[in-house]
Amino acid sequence: MLYMKTTFYLLLTLFACTNISFGEDGYRLWLRYETVKDKALLTAYQQKIRGICTEGNSPVLESAKEELTTGLSSLLSKKINTGTILQNNTILIGTAANSALIASLHLAELLQTGQEGYTILTKNIQGKNCIVIAANSDAGVLYGAFRFLQLLQTNKPLDRLSIVTSPKINIRLLNHWDNLNRTVERGYAGFSIWKWHLLPGYIDPRYRDYARANASIGINGAVINNVNANVQILTKDYLKKAAAIADVLRPWGMKVYLAAKFSAPIEIGKLKTADPLDEEVKEWWKKKVDEIYTYIPDFGGFVVKANSEGQPGPQNYKRSHAEGANAIADALAPHNGIVMWRAFVYSNETPVDRTKQSYNEFKPLDGSFRSNVILQVKNGPLDFQPREPFHPLFGALPKTSVMMEFQITQEYLGQGTHLVYEAPLMKEVLDADTYAKGKGTTVAKIIDGSAEQHSLTGIAGVSNIGDDRNWCGHPFAQANWYAYGKLTWDHSMSADEIADEWIRMTFSNDAVFVKPVKQMMLGSRETMVRYMTPLGLHHIMGDGHHYGPSPWSDKLGRADWNPVYYHRADSIGIGFERTEKGSNALEQYMPEVRKIYADAATCPDEYLLWFHHIPWNYQMKSGKTLWNELCTQYYKGVEEVRAMQETWSKLKNKTDPEQFEHVTMLLAVQEKEAVWWRNACVQYFATFSKQPIPAGFEQPEYPLEYYKNIRVQFAPGNGGGN
């Protein structure tokens, strides 16, 4: 017994003596609230924060209070009192409506914070030093509470706080491509977190932590089922399950939305048609929507994938997308619900360049959508590639509300094993200039409504969350969830700033750790582009599952599902001619944008093969031939992954050993796969260029045939029903 006791104390001392917290399994995400390590800072914080003062009461306010109390007691390693009396060194939280104290301050800042924003101020009130977290709504207070905790988590000074912020976009959603059988389409982090079979009886505690995490980054809603929707979601049983999720999300400022299948009136309504102009169909949607609101009074609305990749839609009845969207929108309007109508459509028959089809379909419909319809447009005109130019519909529909759809899950970006920080990709799109209303009309200004004064504004990110203990599979994939949320709130934040926050909150504030990790993250997206699809190449990944390289694929049912359709390599050169010499997809952009890309001589290298078919011996800006430059990019990509491994290996004692190992192993997989991409692609393209891999580069380990014969079976996220 004595022996056991001694061992126990020995172990305890051992843990206490190291600086590292053991067993970090990633569940806590960026909300770890570890006690502030810097002793001087800790003391300063402890002196400034003695308690929390709140008045008023609501579930959302309760969440804010609770988060602040638990977060601060852990960060400051002391008990935090809550009460309604203002004392020295208190944090005063609330709204003017629920707190007489806050009302008495007449804060001018609250004129700028809108419905969900907040202000955080260092203030002397009645001779007492306080920090005020005030907003116009309880949700605003909650967001402010998380931001305040973040200041401490990232070791920021609290002396002269003067933060005033409000979200630039109103509807900030995650789209779960989660099926009712719990598989996740394009999901690489396990099964769905929604345990449909156990709902509504059993509420997994994870739902609450999910909502907390989203609230901490400003996400205010979720579409909880796959866009390839199973119609069952609209039946009474499933609505009750959805309502149970909504009940957990609500105190964290989040609303539930559902993906609806266009043929629901037939499939569950037993009608003969789903024609949106049919009176019975309209009535069916109205009744169904009314029913939904009896279960979920604050239901947000529907996302609809119609006439896209085999899904039914209005065109089955020779009706337009607007007619389809409007019929459903009319049912939602009395309840203030919205329809997010996806623009990701391309026809089964049309031989037109696939990247042109969505614009061709929707441009003529501008102005014909109801005011509660918002068009959900993917960031690029093809499909979430490592790099695409921005979608030409951004800026082309002045009379329509248009929202952004990003894909956080890494379907085309290395799936579950590649470290790819997506903020640079998101920023590249948001900051792209559409020139729709002159210079500076960025994509961000289209979707935040400021370009055309739209008040219905939104953004959706296809979730990368599953039931893996650490939520996202790859420890660094959490950063993409985080970054997406941060950008939905404030698209002017830089990828650097966001990475900085995330690293500090997730791992450590130690500069020796933060600096190299940040550098590694910031370069990672470009690195992935290099070893997968450099110089504007696109969609050359494996058939169906999109895992690994397959530029040779030419056997899929439709031409525009095949990689050969996209790279168009031949004896002369490589690339998809999208200028007027080719498909002229470029004509869908404003003249100023066309000018940037139209001439191969001035077109940025990043987009060269997206817009041009370029001869193998063409001289690039680097002075190299296209062939040499292409090889250089592929090789550089691999080298950069090796550099990432090197960087990470030096941080062994700077982070949790379990996480360190996890990332180390995944980086090794990434290196292997980058080499696979490189070797497969350069050898395949060499069959067209008829040129050798330039001297000095390591020769591929295996011949092309070897790579062509690799069959990936059972890749995650592919199929499995809905």
Q: Point out the residues that are catalytic.
A: 309, 383, 411
Cβ-contact 489, 218 below 8 angstroms:
yes
- Give the one residue of 89, 155, 228, 519 binding ligand BDP; rule: CB under 6 A: 228
* Residue 712 Cα to chain centre, angstroms: 26
Q: Which residues pair with 133 in a beta bridge?
A: 93, 120
Max CA separation in the chain (angstroms): 85
- Asked if 540 is part of the footprint of ligand BDP (rule: CB under 6 A), the reply reads no
For the CB of residue 79, give the shortest distance to ligand BDP in the complex, in Å.
49
For the CB of residue 144, give the shortest distance to ligand BDP in the complex, in Å.
35
- Asked if 627 is part of the footprint of ligand BDP (rule: CB under 6 A), the reply reads no
* Residue 161 Cα to chain centre, angstroms: 29
391 CB-near residues (< 8 Å, 6+ apart): 343, 358, 359, 377, 378, 379, 380, 381
Nearer to ligand BDP, 415 or 506 (CB): 415
For the CB of residue 186, give the shortest distance to ligand BDP in the complex, in Å.
5
- Asked if 344 is part of the footprint of ligand BDP (rule: CB under 6 A), the reply reads yes
- Give the one residue of 227, 229, 239, 503 binding ligand BDP; rule: CB under 6 A: 227
Nearer to ligand BDP, 384 or 684 (CB): 384
Tell me: cis bond preceding 205? Omega within 30 of 0 counts. Answer: no
For the CB of residue 311, give the shortest distance to ligand BDP in the complex, in Å.
8
- Asked if 176 is part of the footprint of ligand BDP (rule: CB under 6 A), the reply reads no
Question: 710, 644, 707: which is closest to 671 by C-alpha?
Answer: 644
Nearer to ligand BDP, 24 or 388 (CB): 388
Rounded to the nearest 10 degrees, the angle between the axes of helix 495-506 and helix 511-532 is: 120
Give backbone dihedrals phi and psi of 290, rounded to 5 degrees, phi first.
Answer: -55, -40
- Asked if 185 is part of the footprint of ligand BDP (rule: CB under 6 A), the reply reads yes
Size of the site for ligand BDP (CB under 6 A): 10
Q: List the structure tokens of 58.
A: 């609501």
For the CB of residue 686, give the shortest distance to ligand BDP in the complex, in Å.
29
Instruction: Classify 305 as helix, strand or coil.
Output: coil
Give backbone dihedrals phi and psi of 677, rounded to 5 degrees, phi first.
Answer: -55, -50
For the CB of residue 717, give the shortest distance to ligand BDP in the complex, in Å.
8
Cβ-contact 564, 552 below 8 angstroms:
yes
Cβ-contact 337, 371 below 8 angstroms:
no
Nearer to ligand BDP, 383 or 577 (CB): 383
Annotate each residue in 365-394 with x if it binds ligand BDP (CB under 6 A) or - if it does not, as one string: ------------------xx----------
- Give the one residue of 172, 186, 255, 525 binding ligand BDP; rule: CB under 6 A: 186
What is the number of the residue whose Cβ is closest to ligand BDP?
383
* Range list of β-strands (E), 80-195: 81-83, 90-95, 118-125, 128-135, 162-165, 171-175
**Dist. CA 505–CA 31, nearest whole Å:** 7
For the CB of residue 535, give the shortest distance to ligand BDP in the complex, in Å.
22
Instruction: Classify 438 as helix, strand or coil.
Output: strand
Annotate each residue in 391-430 with x if it binds ligand BDP (CB under 6 A) or - if it does not, as one string: --------------------x-------------------
Nearer to ligand BDP, 132 or 303 (CB): 303
Nearer to ligand BDP, 346 or 369 (CB): 346
For the CB of residue 202, give the shortest distance to ligand BDP in the complex, in Å.
29
CB atoms inside a 10 Å sphere around CB 638? 24
Nearer to ligand BDP, 92 or 227 (CB): 227
Annotate each residue in 47-66 with x if it binds ligand BDP (CB under 6 A) or - if it does not, as one string: --------------------
Q: Which residues pair with 325 in a beta bridge?
A: none
**Dist. CA 278–CA 273, nearest whole Å:** 8
Binding residues for ligand BDP (CB under 6 A)? 185-186, 227-228, 305, 309, 344, 383-384, 411
